[in-house]
Amino acid sequence: MPITEILSHNAEMFGQDISLIEINPGLQEKSNITWREYELIETNPAKEYRQEMTWREFDDKANRVANLLLSRNIKKGDKVSILLMNCLEWLPIYFGILKTGAIAVPLNFRYTAEEIKYCLKLSETKALIFGPEFIGRLETICELIPNVKTLFFTGENCPFFAESYDRLAKNCSSEAPHIKLTDEDDSAIYFSSGTTGFPKAILHTHGSLMSACYTENKHHGQKREDNFLCIPPLYHTGAKMHWFGSLLVGSKAVLLRGVKPEWILKAVSEEKATIVWLLVPWAQDILDAIERGDVKLEDYELAQWRLMHIGAQPVPPSLIHRWKKYFPEHLYDTNYGLSESIGPGCVHLGTENIHKVGAIGKPGFNWEIMITDESGCPVTQGMVGELAVKGPGVMKCYYNDPEATAAVLKDGWLFTGDVARMDEDGFIYLVDRKKDVIISGGENLYPVQIEDFLRRHETIKDVAVIGLPDQRLGEIAAAIIELKPGYKCTEEEIRAFCSSMPRYKRPRRIFFDEVPRNPTGKIEKPRLRDKYCGTSLVSAQIES
């Protein structure tokens, strides 16, 4: 059954009930907010503090989107990209694309213009729906993406190179299009990347999306009376696939645009949220604010909050022990997953296994796991090897990249590139990553991209970027820079040079040193990690 049928069912059964709520807390504070790294971006001043949508309105909007796209000759199998901040329109647009039989292609809102162009070309996108935050980036590339025939802009003051989505969609029919869909049909492309730079396009089917619904609901038991507080960006499989468990039973969700501790607690309190998914930095910020006295738990109604779960990066056991000190009644869970496995849930700790904090868990609902040696054969229990997963949410392929697909998909198994071990009770622990991806606050940083950027500086001879442990973010990016003979440069100059990079990609520690390479020319990053991971670190503060 395609996931669009769940939305139609909810509209029929619970039409007048609230499905989605969007909260913009910065508007209520009437402050000019500059969003920090892990917040979402400056709030649109035209928006209201709180908006909501019923299930009937949700489905009607999705149908209007579908009929608009069909009127522009978007057909089954075509690609339609979404480049939006979290907002009330995001999910109706996503479902509208799916209802046409087209393939939804969510884009990371932190992408540079060059990355946007690359992803639009790789995915063979025919239409793009974007918001006001991206006008500048798209204006520089709109003539360089000939495959994108249609650009729809949602917001006021439509730019010259696009058409008004808001004006056109409201005049389209709210009747559902009659496009036959099956579980085998392609549904969505999500982007991921290894250490080699630009992202790979991960193709999933409608069956994958449905598997996420069932897995998530089985793990966390969402019921109609639950309310899911969604903070992470919707382009990410983690946020949306957790929400799919709520979609399955028709329970509502809140989209919170901001991550200040007081905003999260206020949203939980006022909206009576029962389930909250956090990243490690956000959980740490809440605990820090409590311990500083910046927030007082007695000021909020939190008794209904039953589940706090964390994903996207390894979770320090000390964080959970500290959390339980202030929230002893909370159920806690963590999930492991990849975009290639339709997000979180292929490995799952389980709320009953808090005694195993530190593990990522056991196979998720409908999933199998295997830890393998270099030849792909299972290792003995307790031995370290590469984690492979198998289940209904495994991607179909890397789109237009059969070589990369063959490297990770073997006999139905997805080889994750993560090194893990299984304990005597069958719980999986991550040991390391085969790749050099740095996971900082739940976001993947790709060292090669940062290295290539830094090498443009006239004084730099060589550079290596590695991850260093950080109490708050999990890891931070550190750049080891080797200067050209006779040249001088300061840390301040490097930081100024990096100011044109997206903020979350900028190295947070800078060292001037020789960059070691082996006889074949590869950077010896293990040596650098051994040398610098012992460096005394103060938890990195996100620049504002």
Task: Give DSSP secondary structure letters for 372-429.
Answer: E-TTSPBPPTT--EEEEEESTTS-SEETT-HHHHHHHEETTEEEEEEEEEE-TTS-EE
Quick one: which of 430, 326, 444 has its CA closest to 385?
430
Look at residue 343 in the predicted model and tell me its pLDDT. 82
Which residues sit opposite 23 in a β-bridge?
Answer: 50, 256
Domains located in the chain, CATH noted:
438-532 (3.30.300.30)
On the 0-12 / 13-18 / 19+ scale of CB atoms within 10 A, 190 is buried
Contact partners, residue 172, CB within 8 Å, separation at least 6: 63, 64, 65, 67, 68, 71
Report the relative pairing of strands 443-445 and 275-278 from DSSP bridges: unpaired
Query: Directed axis angle between helix 206-220 and helix 237-247, to 10°?
Result: 70
- The alpha-helical segments, DSSP class H, found in 414-467 are 447-454
pLDDT value for 452: 78
| Per-residue confidence (pLDDT) for residue 535, from 0 to 100 | 54
CB half-sphere exposure, 16, CA atoms < 13 A: 0
Tell me the H-state helices in 171-316: 206-220, 237-247, 261-271, 280-292
Q: Is 72 helix (H, G, I), strand (E, B) or coil?
A: coil
d(CA 473, CA 249): 33
Place of tokens 């010896």: 524
What pLDDT, on a 0 to 100 scale, did the predictor assign at position 80?
98
What is the rounded CA–CA span in Å between residue 373 and residue 34? 47
Distances in whole angstroms, Cα of residue 535 to Cα of each of 292, 310, 530? 27, 27, 10
Phi, psi dihedrals of residue 51, rounded to the nearest 5°: -130, 155
User: CA 465 to CA 348: how far, in whole Å?
Assistant: 31
**DSSP structure class, residue 361:** B
Q: Collect the ranges in the chain with pLDDT lower than 50.
A: 31-43, 194-196, 519-520, 536-544
Write down the pLDDT at residue 29: 61
Q: Beta-carbon neighbour count of residue 407 at 10 Å? A: 13
Q: At what angle do helices 55-71 and 4-13 cross, to 10 degrees?
A: 140
Residue with tokens 């997000």: 343
- Give the three-class secondary structure for 260: coil
Taking the C-alpha atoms of residue 515 and residue 513, their distance in angstroms, rounded to an integer, is 6
For 210, 468, 508, 520, the CA distances from 482, given in Å and listed in that order, are 50, 18, 17, 19
